[in-house]
Amino acid sequence: MNFEALQNKIGIQFHNKKLLIQAFTHSSYVNEHRDQNYEDNERLEFLGDAVLELAVSQYLFRIYPDMNEGDLTKLRASIVCETSLVNFATSLDFGDMVLLGKGEEMSGGRNRPALLADVFEAFIGALYLDQGFSTALEFLEKFVFPKIEKGAFSHAMDYKSVLQEVVQQDKSGPVNYKIVDERGPAHNREFVAHVYIQEKLYGAGSGKTKKEAEQMAAKVALDKVKSDKMA
């Protein structure tokens, strides 16, 4: 995939194509092409890190109005960590685009997690410089935020604690969980949990452990509580 194909894929055309190329230029490539006036992506990475953190913070603040500061911080950290950034970069085939020096290429740099995470941050920084925060946000809303909504980062969330806080604020009564089903072979068990508020069923969830099933049930209940408030 070339840079034109990438722009078509994400639905964004850069005004300054040099910024886009710089986002994918590793320092090893610059070192081997000193006569061609390339710039590496390290400064863009620095900027992109800040833009990404602000964008994710703003998004989480908006969609989780009842989540406390500690849980918001924990969830944000799981989204902007190296592992997550690598997944985002890989899903968009960013690794294929990186300009690498021969030595870095031969040592497998194209698939190195730290390098891919840096490239993703650099791309966000380049997009911000080229078209502003709103366009960077639009990109994240299309390619990153849906993964949050689908529960890809649920391992970092304590939905049970958040639900308990919301229920206490509303004085809605006790929250109780019940494992209602266990299925599958012993090596691949799946549990199903129900969560009740004032003895009324508010959510059901499944997981590989009882705790995970309860967390997923709490997530469903949280969504229902929010919709009830908006009704």
Q: What is the pLDDT of residue 143?
A: 92
How many whole angstroms separate alpha carbon 152 and alpha carbon 181? Answer: 24
Domain boundary among 155, 180, 211: 155
Q: Determine which one of 71, 121, 130, 214 is catalytic.
A: 121
Q: Does the annotation count 71 as an active-site position? A: no
Q: Report the pLDDT averaged over residues 55-81.
A: 87
Domain boundary among 130, 155, 180: 155
Query: Which stretches of 23-77 are assigned E, i.e. beta strand?
Result: none
Which is nearest to 122 in space by CA: 156, 99, 105, 148? 99
Residues of the domain holding 104: 3-155
Q: What is the pLDDT of residue 162?
A: 80
CA 80 distance to own-chain centroid: 6
Highest mean pLDDT: which of 114-118, 123-127, 223-227? 123-127
Q: Report the pLDDT averaged over residues 151-178.
A: 77
221 shares a domain with 204: yes
Q: What is the pLDDT of residue 74?
A: 84
Q: Does the annotation count 49 as an active-site position? A: yes
User: How many domains are there within the chain?
Assistant: 2
Q: What is the pLDDT of residue 157?
A: 67
76 shares a domain with 122: yes
145 shares a domain with 31: yes
Q: Report the pLDDT averaged over residues 7-29.
A: 94
Q: Does 181 have pLDDT greater than 60?
A: yes
Q: Determine which one of 40, 45, 49, 130 is catalytic.
A: 49
Q: What is the CATH number of the domain that holds 72?
A: 1.10.1520.10
What's the pLDDT band for 47 if we cut at 50, 70, 90? very high
